[in-house]
Amino acid sequence: MKIEAIEIRRVKMPLVAPFRTSFGTQHEREMLLLRVRTPGADGWGECVAMSDPLYSSEYVDGVEDVLRRFLIPDLLAMGDVTANAVGPRLHKYKGHRMAKAALEMAVMDAELRNQNISFANSLGALRTHVPSGVSVGIMDSLPELLEVVGKYLSDGYARIKLKIEPGWDTAPVRAVREKFGDDILLQVDANTAYTLRDAHHLAKLDAFDLLLIEQPLDEEDMVGHAELARKIRTPICLDESIVSASTAAAAIKLGACEIVNIKPGRVGGYLEARRIHDVCVALGVPVWCGGMLETGLGRAANVALAALPGFTLPGDVSASDRFYIEDVTEPFILENGGLTVPNGPGLGVTPLEDRLKEFTLTAENIGA
């Protein structure tokens, strides 16, 4: 497939409500969208990097720089390009997985649209509908939290995830369990907010029959997670620590986790995400698909990934209106506790031009 040009488009979209985690509060989402232009069909990619290097070392300005100066020129110099060739071609550039993932996604979308194959089919998806969980940020009060959780449960979400941090952990979990009972699927996400010294405190969460505790310790502390796993009963799930299939295998064999959260942007793309899925299936470890406040483009790809057989827990593949009043694509709507997997060519969705124009800050074509 010959790439004629690649567009870098920076967009900013307001959130329905502020989203607070242990590393900060987001009021809007500024991100990069990529469009790969080919003679047959264009492909779209979405970079999940945040504006500031808080979740990971990558951030929007840095991603834009490395794309413009290194990754895109190198890819354009290839001539014929396939999605499978993107990772090996760009491997010499250390890190920058979110930037590489966005490029791979856009190339993959264009390639599949030209071949009239859906993202889901190309990845090996078996389902046409996936259960949807929802991530609930840190709130100012317990009554506010209970009101928000109640709304999501009445909407039909299959699982609730509570963001936690020191000072906001056992009390909100207890309040949700007391209000809504033991039958709801409930898990927590710490985003690296604790240390091993907090093991005794984190063990108090064992009383609430949680599905898992996600990334309690620093992303580099695999040994600490393995030790924590011996001190608490709640299953540990790793997020930030898992950046490849090899790190997933190492974490599992070390005993650092019993569950893996797969975020394609964090691991360098959907092809590596599928490899992580395959490793976890082989080792008998369940996986689920995490979210990064994606637009309809990234959401479409995530839903396709979540339809693979090893994704046995509901992921953070919520409906568009969880975060955005208006999406850049036709909205994903929650039905029967989940989302329908797009079955059209490529991602199966395309941006709406008027929405793109409304949210666009800058747009630049490279290679035209």
| CATH number for position 182 | 3.20.20.120
Same domain, 250 and 104: no
Same domain, 320 and 295: yes
DSSP-derived letter for residue 80 is: B
Mean pLDDT of 256-267: 97
pLDDT above 80 (res 179): yes
Same domain, 147 and 240: yes
Residue-wise pLDDT tens digits, 201-230:
999 999 999 999 999 999 999 999 999 999
pLDDT score, position 25: 81
Residue-wise pLDDT tens digits, 63-112:
999 999 999 999 999 989 999 999 999 999 999 999 999 999 999 999 99
| CATH number for position 104 | 3.30.390.10
Distance from the first to the final alpha carbon of the chain: 16
Same domain, 57 and 199: no
Same domain, 220 and 333: yes
Residue-wise pLDDT tens digits, 7-17:
999 999 999 88
pTM of the model: 0.95
Residue-wise pLDDT tens digits, 5-46:
999 999 999 998 888 887 778 889 999 999 999 999 999 999
The mean pLDDT value of the chain amounts to: 96
Confidence class of residue 191 from pLDDT cuts 50, 70 and 90?
A: very high
Same domain, 106 and 46: yes
Same domain, 181 and 321: yes
Mean pLDDT of 177-197: 97
Same domain, 180 and 106: no
Confidence class of residue 298 from pLDDT cuts 50, 70 and 90?
A: very high
pLDDT above 80 (res 362): yes
Residues with catalytic function = 163, 263
Same domain, 297 and 192: yes
pLDDT score, position 368: 63
Give 153: exposed, middle or buried? Use CB within 10 Å, 0-12, 13-18, 19+. middle
Number of compact structural domains in the chain? 2
E strand spans, the chain: 5-21, 24-37, 43-47, 129-131, 133-136, 159-163, 186-189, 213-214, 236-238, 259-262, 287-289, 338-340, 360-366
Same domain, 71 and 93: yes
Mean pLDDT of 151-162: 97
Same domain, 110 and 126: no
pLDDT above 70 (res 292): yes
pLDDT score, position 27: 84
Domain holding 18, by residue range, is 5-116+349-366
